[in-house]
Amino acid sequence: MTTPAIESLISNYKECELTIFGSFVSTKLFINHPNVKNIIIDDSKSSGNRYFNLRRLAKSAGNFDMAFSFRKNFTTTFLLWFVDAKITFKYQRYTKKLRHQVLRYNDFINTSLTLTTQPNDLKIYLDKSNTTKSKKQLLGINPGATYGSAKRWYASEFAQVAIKLSDEYDIVIFGGPNETEIAGEIEEILKKENIKNYKNIAGLTSVEELISGISSLDLFVTNDSGPMHLAAAFKVPTVCIFGPTKDKETSQWNNPLSMLIKKDFDCMPCMKRECPLTGELNHQCMKAIAASDVLDKIYVNIQAPHIKKKQLKKEFLTKNNLDKGTQLILFTANNFKQNGIFEFLDIISDISVDNFKAVIAGSDSQLNIAKQKIDELKIETKVILVNDFAIKTCDIFILPTKNKKFALNLLKAMNSKCVAFAPKQNEATQRLLDVFATMQDIDDNIANKIDALLNNIGFLTTVQLENKKIAKDFISTQ
């Protein structure tokens, strides 16, 4: 997660020569970096007095114009004392507010050098001569997490995901030397199910081979871990399983194909290496996540885009025991309150026809916000709550957002032949929606328009096709 900050540094000093000092594993990320001229492995713990060893390493490193450390402990301070540098900078956290670690590291570089750079993607320079592409799609399974057992999902659940996807993917089980046991448990389950198209390479790869292997994947299922960030650097579609740690600080950075799964409990995030709770509460953050949660996430985000709208809707209606004539009205957002969940539910309560279901898709914590309002309005029979739902499946998409920023979900909905409603202040409405679908205010008029659509399916279909054309034309000009 320091790599965007390092690239920000290089953007200001394009011809700079870097010396990287760190652990054997972390320094391997930089062996192909064009600006890195020297790598010093921190072996100060291996034998003798650590601080004497650190002083020796610092003195032998050479002289520098600047030295930066992304750590802020005493060992870092000691090391910087003895590095021959004109100026040194030690990492600081400039705010207590929740902030992604990539942003914090970039803040450190910006503040140190009075820059205003924005962090780009995680960056690893890959030796492409070592990469080989499988004929079949590759699914990576990473059941380990060096931090501790609290971050580890269960071998049996990982195995169930692999079994379900084994017809579409060849499977690679990753892991470090200390993770061979859990990798072996997965392998044993696969053997019992007569799954043969897998490789268990836990404990058998170098760091370079791990990087190359992850970069070649078509899909990755992993705990919150170092390999998860490697996958983000290569934009690998990744299901990230979170429990005791802060996903808003350490989730994948800038991976549009990232899929995060977590269940919300009062004890989260505890940041413990091992769960301190006992009995039924022990490790509940991981026990509550089932293989079906992961498979649903993969279905909606990876498989659904390649399935026809009609089939997706039929499957959803069948799964929820709904009549085939039921129209689906969707609300989904990362932040329910900011994007108008209460306004959406007010509109749903005012719709007078009954040939529809409102689908609300989001995390458990966001759905809990919706539940309170649903109970208050007494519209439980009109609403279905789900964690994952393909926008493509819906007939009508309503987003009464308070944000002005362009709403990408509106474009996705329209491009998938959905009628889309949004407020006039959102940038997307000014470029996509016509007067009919632009909310001037959240009032009875919106519910009346939806009633009109649901009472005339021919009219609904016409508007859906028009939206598809508008979205297609818009995409072609970008």
The domain boundary residue, chosen from 84, 113, 142: 113
Asked if residue 118 belongs to a domain, the reply is: no
Three-state DSSP at 356 gives strand
Phi, psi of 57 (to 5 degrees): -65, -40
Asked if residue 121 belongs to a domain, the reply is: no
| Digit-coded pLDDT (tens) for 366-422 | 999 999 999 999 999 999 999 999 999 999 999 999 899 999 999 999 999 999 999
Residue 122: the pLDDT is 98
Residue 402: the pLDDT is 87
Residue 127: the pLDDT is 81
Asked if residue 228 belongs to a domain, the reply is: yes
Do both 340 and 200 map to the same domain? no
Q: Provide the number of structural domains found in the chain.
A: 3
Do both 345 and 216 map to the same domain? no
- Domain that residue 72 falls in: 3-113
Strand extents, DSSP E, 23-168: 36-41, 63-69, 84-90, 137-142
Phi, psi of 198 (to 5 degrees): -140, 160
Asked if residue 122 belongs to a domain, the reply is: no
On whether the CB atoms of residues 37 and 20 are closer than 8 A, the answer is no
Q: Give Dmax (Cα) for the chain.
A: 82
60 is written with which tokens?
A: 């032998």
Three-state DSSP at 126 gives coil
Do both 463 and 370 map to the same domain? yes
Whole-prediction pTM: 0.91
Residue 16: the pLDDT is 97
Nearest to 239, CA basis, from 434, 387, 131, 373: 387
Alpha-carbon distance of 262 to 211, in angstroms, equals 26
On whether the CB atoms of residues 148 and 245 are closer than 8 A, the answer is no
User: CA separation (Å) from 184 to 141, 143, 155, 180?
Assistant: 12, 10, 9, 6
Alpha-carbon distance of 41 to 68, in angstroms, equals 16
The CATH number for 351's domain is: 3.40.50.2000
The domain boundary residue, chosen from 59, 87, 113: 113
Do both 132 and 275 map to the same domain? yes
Name every residue whose Cβ is closer than 8 Å to that of residue 466 and which is 6 or more positions away in sequence.
none
**Tens digit of pLDDT per residue, the chain (478 long)?**
999 999 999 999 999 999 999 999 999 999 999 999 999 999 999 999 999 999 999 999 999 999 999 999 999 999 999 999 999 999 999 999 999 999 999 999 999 999 999 999 999 999 876 556 667 899 999 999 888 899 999 999 999 999 999 999 999 999 999 999 999 999 999 999 999 999 999 999 999 999 999 999 999 999 999 999 999 999 999 999 999 999 999 999 999 999 999 999 999 999 999 999 999 999 999 999 999 999 999 999 999 999 999 999 999 999 999 999 999 999 999 899 999 999 999 999 999 999 999 999 999 999 999 999 999 999 999 999 999 999 999 999 999 998 999 999 999 999 999 999 998 888 988 888 876 677 765 555 889 999 999 999 999 999 999 999 999 999 988 7
Residue 477: the pLDDT is 83
Residue 438: the pLDDT is 73
Do both 468 and 329 map to the same domain? yes
Do both 151 and 184 map to the same domain? yes
Do both 92 and 157 map to the same domain? no
Do both 276 and 158 map to the same domain? yes
CB count within 10 Å of CB 445 equals 13
Residue with tokens 């053997």: 191
The domain boundary residue, chosen from 240, 267, 300: 300
Do both 294 and 335 map to the same domain? no
Nearest to 118, CA basis, from 98, 100, 136: 100
Do both 246 and 330 map to the same domain? no
Do both 327 and 198 map to the same domain? no
Alpha-carbon distance of 14 to 129, in angstroms, equals 26
Type of residue found at 423: P
Three-state DSSP at 240 gives strand
